[in-house]
Structure formats: structure tokens, C-alpha cells
Structure 1
Amino acid sequence: MDPRIYQKMRAVEDEHWWFVARRRIVAKLIESLPLAAAPDILDAGCGTGGNLALLKRYGRVTAMEMDNHARQLAQRRRLAEVLPGHLPDALPFTAQRFDLVVMLDVLEHIRDDSASLAAVAGLLKTGGRIVLTVPAFPLLWGAHDQAHHHQRRYHAASLQAAVDQAGLETEYMTYFNTWLFPLIAPVRLLQRLLPRQNTDTELSVPPAMLNALLGRVFASESRLLPRLRLPFGVSLLAVLKSREN
């Protein structure tokens, strides 16, 4: 991505409602997993490191990021070792294996998604899990996806197809960011009709009261997970494991 986007992301991801609420949802999901005590955790595609503090609450964290600028911003947080590498074929690990690999809005950036999932599966310890999120519904494709160099948005079926091709098993999959879908979807569809679209607003923190309200609404979905599967949403969330686990 453009280094300016990483810089903007680093500036807002600690307080922007979307990042904050997604971390709460991911935290609830991690707490439901049968992980080992003090698990080894990999943040694969950590970006500017906005999730490292969260992951550090649950175990020993290592991070990987392909973009040099983003990696430097993540390393400055001093929360984990951030190694250069990218999926599917330039992983910086030989013998090291992980109880949990987290890929939060990473897979959509990679051309060969199934090969990348297979490569991540090879990093799992016995009984290990992959937690991932991706943007949902190709109908919502727009300037935001282009600016962030996305390759695709997913339906549950297309994500499941990539999982199957990678030889993994889906333990849990759901759409999320469902409550706000009726607000977000029309805006995204309208943006497709506009000739020149400014994506900067999605990386700006709204006024404090609105930011807090949106965060509470989005994060409230954590109460439903992982007991329920939501039928639609702006994003997809999945827990994967090796077939032999």
C-alpha cells in the first residue's frame, strides 16, 4: 500500500471505532479457543502493529510484515519482534511453530489466497488455530479496496473454497459488522457512482461521541460470538485448523 495509508492507519488505529471494536471481537474469539498455556502467537501481516498489544495479553507474540514502512512503524511499538516476510513463499521461519496464527484483513491483499493459507497451516503446532478476518461481499467493492490494494472481497462460499483448497478445516465462520451493514452498504454503493472518491474519511476518527457510539454498536456483536453465525455483514471472521487436529 501507499506509505501514506500506513501512516494514517498508525495515527488512528488505537482509537478509531472500527479498529477498537474489531479488537474486542477478536479478543472474545481468542478467549473461546482451546489454546495451550502461554501460547506462541504469530501476527501474520501485522501492518503497523495495532493488534500487538491485544495479542500480547494471551501469549508470546511474533509478528511478520512485508512492507518495510509498516514494519518499522510496528517495530517502534516495542511489543514484539517484527520480521520481514510475506505469503505464501517468503516466510522467515524454519523450525518455529505457533499455537495461534492471526491474519486480520490480510488474505484479501494476496493474489494466491489458498497457497497462503496452506503456508500458514504449515506453521501451526498440533492443535493450533488460525483466526482470520476478510472484507465481505464483492458488491461492496470500491475505492477503499483499490486504495488498500485488495485483490478481492469474499462471500462465505468463496472463503470456504480457499480454505478447502488449502487443506484446512473450518471450525467456525461468520459474517460480522452486521448491525452497521445497513448504514455502510448504501454508502459504499453510492461511492461506486461518484467519479472521484476520497477514501481518507475512512481513516479519520469521527467526532468523539459518534466514534464511541459506532464502536459500541459494532463491538456489541462480540456477545454473540462464537455461539451464533450472523447471516451477513461487512466482513467475515473464521477460525481454521488443520484437518488432522
Structure 2
Amino acid sequence: MNIEYELKYHQIEENYWWFQARRDMVFQLVQDLRLPVTAPILEIGCSGGPLLQRLSAQGYRHLTGIDVSEAGIAVAQARGIPNVSCMDGAHLDFPDASFDLVIASDVLEHIQDEAQALREWTRVLRPGGQLVVFVPAFQFLWGKHDEVNQHFRRYTAAHLAQRLHQAGLQVRRKSYWNVGLFFPTAAVRLLKRLLPAEDQPLKDDFFATPPLLNTVLRGIITAENRLLRALNAPVGVSVFALARKAA
């Protein structure tokens, strides 16, 4: 990840509407699994640990977090979050069948060898263990935000499900996420392709939001999250899947 963007990410991830809404959705998916609080859970790409903090507050006692970013792990450790370490998400230093749940939010697109990563994630799952994975959606939405994030690809729901199946996982659910911003995002990115190329530094899509706007935007996506409890969305800026390792 671009070092300037990485520092920005760790500064805004706790309170920025987009990160808050995505954490809400991940947390909702975890809650719906009804795992015992003793279940061992691994978050790949834990960054500064806000999701781990929320899961801990809910009573989950065996949480582990890893991130390739030393800066992110330093933030998590400064917050007093235990069991976090710097580790490559495609080469896990854990024994086979270590976890009941693996969570990876916007990680897979950063890893060049996605098959290797998914094999590792499957390996550390216990039989019957589950994976929650989020990735950016649709290659035609590719933009400078992807480049500054050092992404290798974006996904369709079918593409993601196929990769999970190839890794030996059973896909229980797949859906797009962040429907409300899909059409404006698509319009802006497609329009930029029609305009003359600008000779400017790469820039991410995260823009400063006043507190009121931050609250409104989070509220819109959070309302979508509630609908996604029962429905699967046909389009979105992101896509997620819930997959299971055979018992």
C-alpha cells in the first residue's frame, strides 16, 4: 500500500463513515453465525483493530489479528489489543485447523497470488469453519483509488465464488454491498475515462466529510446493511461472500 495512503487509512478508519458501515456489516454477519464466545477468530488485515475491539466488547474471548502493515499493528498494540502481529496474509504462521472463523475485509485484492492466499485461509480453518470475505466489485470500476491502494483486481460475485470453490470452500452466500454509491461511483469513474488524462499524482477516493455528512452517509449504508440481512444485492461497490470448509 502507498505509504502516504497507509498513514491516512490508520488515521481515519475508526470514524470514517465508509469504514464504520463496512465494520457494521461484517459484525452483523459474524453475529448471524451465532458462534460461541469461545470460538477462535482470526482477522486478516486487522489494521488498527477497531473490529477486534468491537468483537471483544461483545464477549468473544479468543481473537487474533494480523496485518502486513507494521504501522497498523503498532496502532492496534497502542490501543491495548492483544494477539496482534505483523504477518503476510498469503503465508500464515498458524497450525492447520486453528480457527472457527476467518475474516478478511478488503485484503484479497492486495495479494497477487490469490489462490495461495485462499489455500492458506482454508488451511487454518477447522472443519466446518467459516470465512467472511469482502473485496471491491467490478473491474470496470477500476480507478486511481485502486492504483494508490495497490490492488491487483476487482471482483464480481461469481468470480469470487469461483475462487472460493477452487480453494475447497462451500459458498453459502454471496452478495454485493454498498448499493447506494454504485451508480454515482460508476458514473464518475466511467466519465473520467472519457476525459483527457490528467497528469496528477494518484489520489484515493476518501474525501473529508463534516460530522453531519459523515453521520448521514453512514446511516444510508447502515440502513442497507439491515436490508442485506435478508436480501442479496445485485450490484454494489463491493462484494462479500460467506463460505464454509467441509466438516
Per-residue CA deviation, residues 4-52 of structure 1 (Å, 9 max, x unaligned), is 2121111111111101111111111111114233221111122233322
Secondary structure, aligned partner of 1:222: helix
Call closer, same or farther: CA 1:131–1:58 in 2, change over 3 Å.
farther
Residue in 1 aligned with 2:84? 82
> Shift in Å at residue 156 of structure 1?
1.2
Q: 1:118 touches 1:168 (CA, 8 Å); kept in 2?
A: no
Matches within 5 A, 1:44-55: 44-55=44-55
Matches of 1:72 and 1:225, distance apart in 2: 34
Matched to 1:9, the amino acid is Y
Structure 1: distance between partners of 2:199 and 2:75: 30
For the 8 Å contact 1:45–1:86, the answer to whether it is kept is no
Q: Is the CA contact 1:49–1:74 (under 8 Å) kept in the aligned structure 2? A: yes
* Alpha-carbon distance change, 52 to 196 in structure 1, aligned in 2, over 3 angstroms: farther
CA contact (8 A) 2:139 2:153 kept: yes
The one-letter code matched in structure 1 to 2:65 is A
How far, CA to CA, are the matches of 1:97 and 1:132 in structure 2?
18
Root mean square deviation, CA, Å? 1.9
SS in 1 for 2:224: helix
Q: In structure 2, what is the Cα distance between the partners aligned to 1:80 and 1:187?
A: 41
**1:2 partnered with 2:2:** yes
Counterpart pick for 1:218 among 213, 216, 221: 221
Q: Deviations over 1:62-89 (max 9, x none)?
A: 111122223222322222321222132x
Q: Given the two structures, how large is their TM-score scaled by the length of structure 1?
A: 0.91
Structure 2 CA distance for partners of 1:14 and 1:197, relative to 1, 3 Å: farther
Tell me if 1:233 matches 2:198. Answer: no
Runs of 5+ unmatched residues, structure 1: none
Inter-partner Cα distance in structure 2 for 1:49 and 1:33: 21
- Please tell me the residue identity of whatever aligns with 1:84: C
After TM superposition, give the deviation of residue 99 of structure 1 in Å. Answer: 1.4
- Structure 1 residue matching 2:172: 3-state secondary structure: strand
* Other-structure match for 1:72: 74
1:161-187: CA deviation from partner (whole Å, max 9, x where unpaired): 211211111111100100221222222
Using the TM superposition, name which of 181-190 and 209-218 deviates more. 181-190
Tell me the TM-score normalised to structure 2 length: 0.90
Q: How many residues align?
A: 243
Distance 2:59 2:81 in 1: 13
Contact kept, 8 Å, 1:101 with 1:124, in 2: the verdict is yes
Q: Which amino acid aligns with 2:114?
A: D
The 3-state SS of whatever aligns with 1:64 is strand
Say whether 1:126 aligns with 2:122.
no
Q: How far is 1:196 from its partner? A: 4.1
Gap change, CA 1:10 and 1:23, over 3 Å in 2: same
Contact 2:179 2:233 in 1 (8 A): yes
Contact 1:97-1:124 at 8 Å conserved across structures: yes
Asked whether the equivalents of residues 133 and 241 of structure 2 are also in contact (C-alpha less than 8 Å), the reply is: yes
Aligned structure 1 segments of 4 or more residues deviating by more than 6 angstroms: none
Q: 1:96 to 1:68 in 2, by over 3 A?
A: farther
**Mean Cα deviation higher: 19-28 or 64-73:** 64-73
Amino acid at match of 1:118: R
8 Å CA contact 1:84, 1:92 repeated in 2: no
Question: SS at the partner of 1:220?
Answer: helix
